[in-house]
Structure formats: C-alpha cells, structure tokens
Amino acid sequence: MAWVVKWDKEDFIGKEALLSVQQRGLRQKLVGFVMRDTLVAEEGSAVVSDGKPVGRVTSARVNPSTGKCIGLAWAPIEIAADGAPLQIRVHGGLAVADIISQPFYDPEGKRLRA
C-alpha cells in the first residue's frame, strides 16, 4: 500500500521503518486457506515448512456452507501462491490446507446475482 504514504515529505514518524521494508521486500503475506479434511486449525497454530515454523494462523472457523475449516494465515512469500499447499500444525500433527485467493463464499458471484 505504498500509495498511502506521501514519500516526498521531508520526514514523518515511521519513515525509516517503511524505507527498510521497501528495500528488503516482503517476507510474509496474509493468505486465505481451506483445510483439505475436516480438521479445524486453531488461532495461533504454526504454519510449517520443512519441519520448521514459518508463520501462524491468525483466524480460522468452520464454513457452514462447506463444513470445512477456512481461515487466514501469515505465510512466507515464497510459498504464498494460489493453490499451493500449506502445512499447519493441528492437535500435535500436521494437516494440509490449500491457499486460495478467491473469496471463501460465492467466489463466482452466482448467489449475489441470483
């Protein structure tokens, strides 16, 4: 959201931090996910890659339309692609979710236009 910042100002609170982030690039991205099975991820659950925690679930609930768990998680930018698998630690084991970029409910807008 660089368009929000007025970069031509001489100085402002947080300018150095924003410049640092802009130079190094993004490390994580907030992504939507849908669990492949009926397990429900808990808020704060670890997102795992190669056996190491690399992110976390920020929110998750059961979708009443599909009966599957949907949620949002911080994931490394390298694995944050639409359709990519996401490993999440659930109840001491690893569960797999799919990253999605479409809305969780009515992604084609059929119900909206009905």
11-63 per-position pLDDT tens digit: 999 999 998 988 998 899 999 999 999 899 999 999 999 999 999 999 999 98
Q: Is residue 113 part of a domain?
A: no
49-88 per-position pLDDT tens digit: 999 999 999 999 998 878 899 999 999 999 999 999 999 9
Q: Evaluate whether 40 touches 69 at the Cβ level (below 8 Å).
A: yes
User: Which CATH number covers residue 86?
Assistant: 2.40.30.110
pLDDT for the residue numbered 21? 86
Q: Evaluate whether 77 touches 29 at the Cβ level (below 8 Å).
A: yes
Length of the chain counted residue by residue: 114
**Domain count of the fold of the chain:** 1
pLDDT for the residue numbered 1? 67
Q: Which domain holds residue 43?
A: 28-100
State the Cα–Cα distance between residues 105 and 63, nearest whole angstrom. Answer: 9
Q: Is residue 15 part of a domain?
A: no
